[in-house]
Structure 1
């Protein structure tokens, strides 16, 4: 998933970006309201992690602008403001969740997972397609209950596909969600990872299909493939 982190404090920003990157997410980091608005104008995100006190304006104003444009991307507010009135203001302005600094990164990751599940319309803590199951918390994948060893990028790709079964993702869609502005790759990278995933999930009842000229989708077969 691709995440936008809006945070001007260097050490906090580095830590948040590092936490999400280790989980396999593509992360864009902006330190100003203006830079964040520019990023949002050209890129869709699965989640926005938003600081309130920015050097060129309020995160609340950016949040209000996001919602006024009809953007439904989940927003997790990070701030040192601990007053109830501040929390109420954030939620009323359109935030989906609120976390006060300093915070435990395990809680940050858990809240992010909850918002991403809600975005995907899932009420369960795991994602599955047939006999393939992915646990977003542990980043573990099993096939018929047996562990499958995947790289971080392979897990991220599977998470995108399995989060919306039957949806067709173009190469451009997948590239946008797997790579940030500073870590872009070419379309051949998607073909490479799709090929690796297919080999590692051989025999699964979930199949990654190629729709020529359109992209890729994961579908569940009626019976496991031989």
Structure 2
């Protein structure tokens, strides 16, 4: 079984030490939607909620806003148990000190929630009225593809993938494929204005955060992303 662990730790096995005694293949990624979308197909996703359960809860909700279809399992310490509620978008919950037999059982139970052949689906992410389809390289607004240039697509994609977190101009330059260190902050501002112009009544979705950069607030998809 291929298990993806989303954690800030250097090795996902430290999140759930009992995995060391199981034959499953474990890969580790940073706990962000961008890292999740860039990961290889897997059989289950473990979200590290040991020290920051509220952040893990929010991440779990964002993961299911994609259409990848991999079951999400939360990993917590006993002290974090009171923070687990219905807002967690998980199919199983396991304590970090669980033994290998329990871990294996929960991984197998999670398979009941796996969508059919999710690895053959496009990586689609929904944020509010926006939908990113990584396979067709399009971003749709209210179900209609936006006529974006390459740089405009990369900029809007970065803001949506990191929705809820302000990105500085330097962050955007680093995130956007095809941009170089020589790209000026003024050029970023120009692209932001161009994207806003194409958003029509949704132009205020891209907010200016003084002293920080730009932000698109996180919100659940208005409608299920197009499969």
For the criterion TM > 0.5, the same-fold answer is no
Considering fraction of residues, name the structure with more strand: 1
- Give the alignment's TM-score, normalised by structure 1: 0.44
